[in-house]
Amino acid sequence: MADQYTLNFVNKSSNDWVFCCYQQDPKIGPKDVRSLAWFTKAVAAGSKTKFQWTIDYSFVWSEMGELVPGVIFDATQVMDASTQVDNAITLTRLPNTAFKFVNQTTDPGFTGSLVVNQDKNIPLKTAAVGIGMSGVGTFAVPAQPNIQVSFSPHPTYWVTFGDYITGQVLDIQQVTGKAQVPYATNVFSMWAILSEDNNWTIQSTASVNSHLLAMREQSDSATFMMALHDLGID
């Protein structure tokens, strides 16, 4: 079973915000790739929420017109995939004008990558194709005829806040109020805390536990929630 990752959002600001988690990957492959708003949720001032996922990849496409910042990538089809097996697929357009993934296979020449072959029937500026994680789109490129696109995922996770919708195409250079959430090896739970002055504090659950152990040297009654409060996270 794949490891489950957890990201806890805490809104300690005085504003109600939509929290957004997205991925970046400068080594993903395609030059025209766009990051998508992966997880979004409205979080009122003084409250918190939780986002959980596993690293399970998929192929995704959306008939959405041009892939430009601000538009919504709403995946019409999601096909489970892996960078080791079932790592290649073809996007076609049927005679009735419906797009469809076909011929999923394992391509040993692209082990470690996810490959989309687009056949001659794909029109320009009509659809976008990409990859997702845990069933939701993360990266997309404009669909084009007779083009093979290879994604080599090494994602990093980022948070921001504002007015976002899941699937929204992002212009990474224009995203403000962002912070990276670094998941070190064998670290699966993190906290992202937005302060009163709208700055991020990023902590691992492991670091909170370490603080709890230090507190228990002073008092056996110390709890995890007390450690959060002592760190200014709750």
Alpha carbons 130 and 61: distance in angstroms, whole number: 6
- Non-local CB neighbours of 15 within 8 Å, separated by 6+ positions: 45, 198
Tell me the pLDDT band of 2, cut-offs 50, 70 and 90: confident
Instruction: Judge whether residue 229 has pLDDT over 80.
Output: no
* Lowest-confidence pick of 55-69, 140-154, 206-220: 206-220
Is residue 234 very low, low, confident or very high in pLDDT (cuts 50, 70, 90)? Answer: low
Distance CA 118, CA 114 (A): 13
How is the beta sheet containing 37-43 ordered, strand by strand?
Answer: 37-43, 17-24, 156-162, 179-181
Quickly state the pLDDT bin for 205 (edges 50, 70, 90): confident
Residues in the chain: 234
| Residue showing tokens 């409250």 | 47
DSSP-assigned letter for residue 166: T
The Cα 40–Cα 218 span in angstroms is 40
172-188 pLDDT tens trace: 999 999 999 999 989 99
Average pLDDT in the 124-142 region?
A: 97
pLDDT, position 1: 66
> What are the pLDDT digits (tens) for 6-34?
999 999 999 999 999 999 998 899 889 99
Q: What is the mean pLDDT of the chain?
A: 92
pLDDT of residue 19: 97
Report DSSP state, residue 108: G
pLDDT level of residue 59 (50, 70, 90 thresholds): very high
For 77-91, the pLDDT digits (tens) are: 999 999 999 999 999
pTM of the entire predicted model? 0.92
* pLDDT reported for residue 220: 77
Own/partner contacts of 202-207, CB < 8 Å, gap of 24 or more, are 203/231, 203/233, 205/6, 205/8
Taking the C-alpha atoms of residue 45 and residue 135, their distance in angstroms, rounded to an integer, is 29
Alpha-carbon radius of gyration of the chain: 20
Backbone angles phi, psi at 211, to 5 degrees: -65, -35
Identify the band that residue 165 occupies on the pLDDT scale cut at 50, 70 and 90: very high
